[in-house]
Amino acid sequence: MAITQVSKITHRKGLQENLPQLDGAELGWAIDGRRLYIGNGDLTEGASIIGNTEILTEFSDILGAARSYTYEGLAAGYLALTGRSSTNPTARTMQSKFDDFASVKDFGAIGDGSIDDTAAINDALFELFSRQINTEVRRSLYFPAGIYKVTDTIKIPPYVRLWGEGINSSIIKYTETGSAAAVVVRTADSLQQVGTALGDNVAIMPTNIEISNMTIESTAANDLIYFENVDDSYMNSVGLIGNLPQSSLSTAGTPTAGIRIKSTTAVVSTSLTFDKCSISNITYGIHVDDKCQSVTVSNSRFDTLYKGVELGETPVNGGPEGFKVIHNMFDNVSAQGIEVGDIALNSSAFNVFYDVGNDFNGIGSPISPVIEMNNTNNVSMGDMFERTDSDNSSQERIRLTIAVPASYAASNAVSQTSQSGSLYNESGRVIEIANNISSALTIFNTEAGVNNDGFEFKYTIKRGDTSRSGVMTVSNEYGANALSYNDDYNENTSTGVTLSASQTGSTVSIDYISDNTTTGIISYSVSYMA
């Protein structure tokens, strides 16, 4: 139809929900949404559809209205088929496309190091992971490069993935100058409850949390991150920086920690991995007293600390077990790089220790062992040390303290084995030598395919003020060839103990006879070929 001159444009205003069908060319203003509409006109006039058309303004939902995004994948050299046919591609609104990705700045964080982003970060975590438990709501939360100032604890619910643009790029920095929070970041349940409230109100306990490619820093005297009652979680390429200069790290005066793992009797933290991290300028790199299981710390750097890894200083519920510290570097650590208390089933392997245990004074000034383990059932294997032999004579590189009561009560520790090729070595155990008795020390079952060609039994006997060290070589055969053994030893004076080997079927035992003098102990290990 011909263009019709309109001498007067009519318009309406009101709430969005009350917007009526407008006459052709009539304007309608939704005052609550600040949106402008124009009537389409009648079909008889040529309108394609009856209704109202929104006139775009700065308040229009442009992305929600646009259905213009279709993945093309042109880099492959052809147009990707996104639907069931090339004539029916999958189309999405731009809003749904952008909602695939969540930035902490979408929730009001600034990241300029000046404005407090605590509420914005916690709000983002709540909206994405706590408000609903529907898995479709969850999004990885991205921290663009910047310094995100926080003044209270950040609470990380289950299933969170936080990721940034690198250790030196995306930084959560605690800067409260008043009363410091106990910790900068901590795991929480699905309602962002922490501490003794974890799990209240039928909340989901912390699980499947991943933090990567960022730094957590504090200018106050607080811990940096707690993993509390959590399982199956991961921290990768994360920097942890405290507020203590080297001059303050000769003692545990301010006992803060980069990482603490916490548990309760009912819920034990388990299956945690810390990989490619860096911990510095804090009292303890990692400090754990509570029971936890299957924790791996790998490929990380411990620098400018009082102690690197402290496990079971005051064990709670048995303390950490299954804690593996492997392939890490320790430097500028005042006291022990790794200290393990009276706990069991923990290991250190293939770490490199530079200026450790020297109170920052370097070679010639050792004050402590580099590694100290205070229970027989822990292992150090393949660790390497800058400490020289002369320093090692006064403070050991590795101190394995075997706790045997004064009464020489038998140790219940079970020795661990290491394997190199087909060679097996036990880490050793300690057992009581009773007075005036004949007894079996240890038994080997050869049916499992080990010990069939014999073994070496290495031992030291201490009985009163007498001592004896030796190696018993045992060859055990089947059929007509009888078992044979040879005991080669030195002693300062007679210990009054006779060792022998015997075999019954597939079972070989080492036996002893002691005279009537006193009780004693025998420390021993076994090496054999598979």
pLDDT digits (tens, 9 = 90+) for 377-430: 888 888 999 998 888 878 888 887 654 444 433 333 344 556 566 676 776 677
DSSP code, position 332: E
Do residues 441 and 524 touch, judged by C-beta distance below 8 A? yes
Q: Are strands 27-30 and 11-14 parallel, antiparallel or unpaired?
A: parallel
Q: For the beta carbon of residue 37, count every other beta carbon within 10 angstroms.
A: 20
Cβ neighbours around 393 below 10 Å, total: 9
Supply the pTM of this predicted model: 0.71
- Name the stretches of the chain with pLDDT < 50: 1, 403-415, 447-451
Residue 415 phi, psi dihedral angles, 5° rounding: -70, 155
CATH superfamily for 417-529 is 4-oxalocrotonate tautomerase-like (2.60.40.1680)
C-beta separation of 61 from 54 below 8 A: no
102-400 maps to CATH 2.160.20.10? yes
**pLDDT at residue 460 in the model:** 94
Domains of the chain, by residue range, sit at: 11-65, 102-400, 417-529
pLDDT at 420: 62
Report the SS3 class of residue 35. Answer: strand
Q: What are the φ/ψ torsions at residue 334 (nearest 5 degrees)?
A: -60, -50
Output the pLDDT for position 297. Answer: 98
Confidence at residue 412, expressed as pLDDT on a 0 to 100 scale: 36
194 contacts 228 by C-beta, under 8 angstroms: yes
Burial class (CB in 10 A: 0-12, 13-18, 19+), 105: middle
Q: 434-454 pLDDT, tens per residue?
A: 899 988 877 665 544 444 567
Residue ranges with strand state E in 350-483: 352-353, 371-373, 378-381, 384-385, 398-400, 417-420, 423-426, 429-433, 438-445, 455-463, 466-475
The Cα–Cα gap between 74 and 116 comes to: 42
Contact 257, 283 (CB under 8 A): yes
Check residue 353 and report its DSSP letter.
E
Query: Do the Cβ atoms of 356 and 330 come closer than 8 Å?
Result: yes
According to the model, what pLDDT value does residue 1 have? 43
Nearest residue to 161 via CA among 141, 134, 188: 141
Answer for the pair 455, 484: CB distance below 8 angstroms, yes or no.
Answer: no
- Residue 427's pLDDT is 62
| Burial (CB count <10 Å: 0-12, 13-18, 19+), residue 119 | middle
Cβ pair 424, 528 in contact under 8 A? yes
What amino acid is encoded at 453 in this protein?
D
Under DSSP, the state recorded for 108 is: T
- How many residues belong to the chain? 530
Cα–Cα distance measured from residue 427 to residue 53, given in angstroms and rounded to the nearest whole number: 81
What is the spatial distance between Cα 107 and Cα 123, in angstroms, rounded to a whole number?
7
